[in-house]
Amino acid sequence: MTCNHYEKQYSDYLDGLLDQESGDEIRFHLNGCARCQTKVGDMERSISALRGLPTVATRPEFDQVLKSRLHTARTQALYAVPFWVSIKEFLSEVALFTRHRTVQMVFTTSLLLTIFVISGLSSYREEPRSANLAIPAFIDQELAAWDIISPIPYESELAPEMAISLVSHIVPQNTPVAILDNVIVKYPRPLNNNAVLTITTMDAVAPDAQTSLESPLASTTPQQRLEAGTSANQHFNLNMSPLPVVNGYLPGGMPLNSSRIQVMKRLTRPASQIKRIRISF
Amino acid sequence: MTNYVATATAEKVQPDVYDQLTATDELLFSQVQREDMHAFDMIVSRYKTRLYNCVYRMVNNAENAEDLVQETFLRVYKNRHNYQATSHFSTWIYTIALNLARSELRKRKRRQFFSLNSSTYEDSNTEGFDLPDTSAGPSEHLEHSELGRAIQKAIDQLPIKYRTVIILRDVQELSYEQISEILACPTGTVKSRVNRARIRLQEMLRQWQIEA
């Protein structure tokens, strides 16, 4: 056993709290260890010095000061109003105040304003960007496909009755994959024959990236069959996601790492890059 | 009306309740709970010196100590209906006094920190980071002996948790069980803290003896 082990028990030893066996053990150790003997002696002396500290007395005016403080506290307690009473009083004051016509008007106006602002905020939706694409009026529906190259000149060449309107879905900036859905195609009158709607996207890959990436955003041409007699206001979910990013691999087996994702993010253009909309009969 | 009721109940109780020797603290305080101010005066006279000595040794400032003891009695009075006789009254009153003393020490520590930070570079550079002596003048007349001053200085240098236990154990001479009740921690913890505090104190006092 080391001195450190016994050191923990010196306090109990001096307080007489150890049992016979432990006390004997310590006594035995102290007989053979001069250092610990000094330590215990010092500790004993410091304990008796602490116990011998003179008792300090309060000043004579202590009681008087305490009495006056107590008196103040008791008086405050006597006159203290319970909190529910003060709440009740406050509410009755408010009730009296609200009887004034001006207060009522101000209150109603502010309430209405608040409701108006809140409802305005909650119903706010970001308007989708839209591009009105026109079909040259001279193209006969029966003869040829509607072939619209985007972007095309605006209002001057618009033939309202032949307009196809495209509402492109808003794609968040910097998404690696351009997803086109929610395309609304409007055409002037119900179709006589079945047709196929084809939307071709732009090739979004810059030439310098083609060497490293195997054209992951190359254009695709999803098609939609249009039944004869359908209404002139069709709503398509075309799901034009050209790049299925699955399991961390690009098409062609190239592993997808973070640097590649960075490259793709830089190359991606907004989703409204429609190259061509064609309705063929 | 209240006074009348208070006197009426005071008359009904057993006659030995005001006996300074036989009445227990709990019995006296039950009278205080019945708005008996005479019983409260007796409680004050029983505890003021004990608490004052304890708090004075903690904060080492006579004025502060008196103020804290008065605050303790005020809190005891204000919370008289919250006291439950399941614990000893002495434990309760000591707990309140020590909490006040400890929060005073913490406040003081913060003040010292800020005053150190606000001192100029030259000021702090001359004497290192010696803290300003916060023990005010009145404490000087209380410590007549050189040893007494040395002990108080040593106590001041102990961390608060050691200071508390050593004062309760060796100055107030309370039992370990009482201390563990007051501090709401196990007796084993109290014992080991007392041991460590004694070792530190003894080392500091030895240093003082060598220097002297």
pLDDT tens-digit map of A85-136: 888 888 888 888 878 888 888 989 999 999 989 888 777 665 444 333 433 3
Give the C-alpha distances (Å, rounded to integers) separating A100 from A103, A108, A111, A175. 5, 12, 17, 58
Q: Which residues of chain B have pLDDT under 70?
A: 1-21, 113-144, 211-212
Q: Is B183 on the interface with A (CB under 8 A)?
A: no
Query: What CATH number is given for B19-117+126-207 in this structure?
Result: 1.10.1740.10
Burial bucket for residue B48 (CB in 10 Å: 0-12, 13-18, 19+): buried
**Other residues' Cβ atoms within 10 Å of the Cβ of residue B176:** 19
Q: A196 pLDDT band (50/70/90 cuts)?
A: low
Between CA B160 and CA B168 the distance in angstroms is 12
Provide the CB-side half-sphere exposure for B134 (13 A, CA): 19
Q: Which residues contact A160 (CB under 8 A, 6 or more apart)?
A: none
More confident residue, A198 or A48: A48
Q: How far is A87 from chain B (nearest CA, A)?
A: 23
Cβ contacts below 8 Å, chain A against chain B, sum to: 87
Quick one: pLDDT at residue B127? Answer: 39
- Mean pLDDT is lowest, of A25-29, A211-215, B177-181, for A211-215
pLDDT score, position B112: 73
- Alpha-carbon distance A72 to nearest alpha carbon in chain B (angstroms): 10
Question: Pick from B72, B29, B27, B31: which is nearest to B49 by CA?
Answer: B72
Higher pLDDT, A272 or A276: A276
Quick check: A58 and B44 CB within 8 A? no
Of the partner residues A49, A56, A69, the one whose CB lies closest to the CB of residue B53: A56
Residue A149 has pLDDT above 80, yes or no: no
| Least reliable range by pLDDT among A3-12, A90-99, A148-157, B23-32 | A148-157
Note the ipTM here.
Answer: 0.75
Task: Answer yes or no: do B195 and A8 touch at CB < 8 A.
Answer: yes
Distance from CA of B207 to the nearest CA of A (A): 11
Report the C-alpha gap between B168 and B94 in whole angstroms: 10
The bridge status of strand A249-250 relative to strand A254-255 is antiparallel
Contacts of A66 in chain B (CB under 8 A): 44, 70, 73-74
As a whole-number percent, the residues of chain A with pLDDT over 70 amount to 43
SS3 B94: helix
Model's pTM, two decimal places? Answer: 0.54
Shortest CA gap B194–chain A (Å): 7
Residue-level pLDDT at B144: 60
For residue A85, the surrounding DSSP H or E stretch is: helix A83-97
Q: How far apart are CA A163 and CA B22, in angstroms?
A: 107
**DSSP letter assigned to residue A275:** E
Q: How confident is the model at residue A199, as a pLDDT?
A: 56
Are A234 and A226 a contacting pair, CB within 8 Å?
yes
Alpha helices in B18-142 (DSSP H): 25-33, 37-59, 62-78, 89-118, 121-126, 138-142
Question: For B5-51, how does the pLDDT look when each residue is reduced to its tens digit (9 = 90+)?
Answer: 444 444 444 546 666 667 888 888 988 888 888 889 999 999 999 99
- Residue A1, token pair as written in the block: 């056993």
Q: Where are the domains of chain B?
A: 19-117+126-207
| Spatial CA neighbour of A29 closest among A39, A42, A19, A16 | A39
Task: Examine residue A151 and say whether the peptide bond preceding it is cis (omega within 30 degrees of 0).
Answer: yes
User: Can you spell out the DSSP letters for A181-235?
Assistant: --EEEE-SS--SS-EEEEEEE-----GGGTTTS--TT-----EEEE-TT--SEEE
Q: Who has greater pLDDT, B11 or A83?
A: A83
Residue of B145, B195, B196, B210 to mutate when probing chain A, most A C-beta within 10 A = B195
Subunit contact A10:B192, Cβ cutoff 8 A: no
Mean pLDDT of A173-195: 48
Compare CB distances from A73 to B78, B147, B171 and report the shortest one's residue: B78
Torsion angle, alpha carbons of B97, B99, B104, B106, to 10: 160
| Coil/strand/helix, residue A136 | coil
Query: What are the chain A neighbours of B191 within 8 Å (beta carbons)?
Result: 11-12, 17
pLDDT at B57: 93
Question: Residue B198 and residue B195: Cα distance in Å, rounded?
Answer: 5
The region of weakest confidence among A172-176, A221-225, B196-200 is: A172-176
C-alpha A109: how far from chain center: 34
> In the numeric block, which tokens belong to residue A219?
């254009």
Question: Which chain A residues touch B205 with a CB distance below 8 Å?
Answer: 42, 45-46, 49
The helix-helix angle for B176-183 and B89-118 (nearest 10°) equals 60
